[in-house]
Structure 1
Amino acid sequence: MAGSVKEVGSQEWEKDVLGSKGLMMVDFWAPWCGPCRSVAPIVEELSVEYAGKVQFVKLNTDDNQDIAVRYQVMGIPTLMFFKDGQIVDKVVGAQSKKNFKDKIDTLLAS
């Protein structure tokens, strides 16, 4: 089953991320980043497991530096969690799938 991680950029940011309702995980990444490549399949799996409950998007920091600067992304991968367009949490660095699931479950329960 295919995941539903949507690629967004500066043009779509306001509407697709800040204008969204519910919980969203945003993966700040870059093609040259090894840890980003290890996190990507986990994010895909989570997008299938949490389909209908959580939205998943990814933003290439090389192509969208304005957004990375605005949110003070200093290292990648950085995964930010937005609820109704507001940042509610973030994780910097590669993590296990279990850690991401625990974070998502906690945020969904709050």
Structure 2
Amino acid sequence: MEITKIIELTDQNFEKNVFLSNKPFLVDFWADWCGPCKVLSPILEEIACEYSEKIIVGTVNIDMNKKTPIMYSIRGIPTLLLFEKNKILGKKVGVISKIELTNFLDEKLS
């Protein structure tokens, strides 16, 4: 099993992990069958490592967790939501490059 800094979020642990976090939380909504999600995955791994002092990164598999994606009106994947406590700071839908993601995070976290 590979070591990752990304936390697996579920309908059961989402609020506890995200809302009670002492850092902003970047959440990736994805599915196994989603090609663009697979492209984004290694970028998120790098971000989880490089931004570990600033944010926590988590993923929600929309096929295994139906409640949370509905709660946040997830219509397309991959969708990234940046939370601080229970407030959404920003949203990105679709595949984005690492540069786009770092620019997004730097802008929202400043």
Tell me the TM-score normalised to structure 1 length.
0.93
Mapped pair 1:44 → 2:45: yes
Q: Which amino acid aligns with 1:18?
A: F
Q: SS of the counterpart of 2:42? A: helix
**What is the correspondence of 1:78-97 to structure 2 with a 5 Å cutoff?**
78-97=79-98
Structure 2 unaligned spans of 5+: none
The alpha-carbon deviation at position 54 of structure 1 amounts to 0.7
RMSD over aligned Cα atoms = 1.0
Distance in 1 (alpha carbons) for counterparts of 2:22 and 2:74: 23
Aligned pairs for 1:60-75 within 5 A: 60-75=61-76
- 2:21 alignment counterpart: 20
C-alpha separation in 1, matches of 2:68 and 2:100: 25
More helix by share: 1
Matched, 1:104 2:70: no
TM-superposed deviation, 1:85:
2.6
Contact 1:27 1:57 in 2 (8 A): yes
Report how far residue 83 of structure 1 moved: 1.1
Is 72-81 or 46-55 further displaced after alignment? 46-55
The aligned counterpart of 1:32 is 33
- 1-structure distance, mates of 2:45, 2:94: 17
Q: Percentage identity across aligned positions?
A: 38
Equivalents in 2 of 1:14, 1:25: separation in Å?
A: 13
Give the 4+ runs in structure 1 shifted more than 2 A.
Answer: none
TM-score (norm 2): 0.93
DSSP-derived class of the 2:13 partner: helix
Deviation at 1:46, TM superposition (A): 0.5
C-alpha contact (below 8 Å) 1:21/1:85 kept by paired residues: no
1:56 maps to 57
Query: What letter matches 1:56 in structure 2?
Result: V
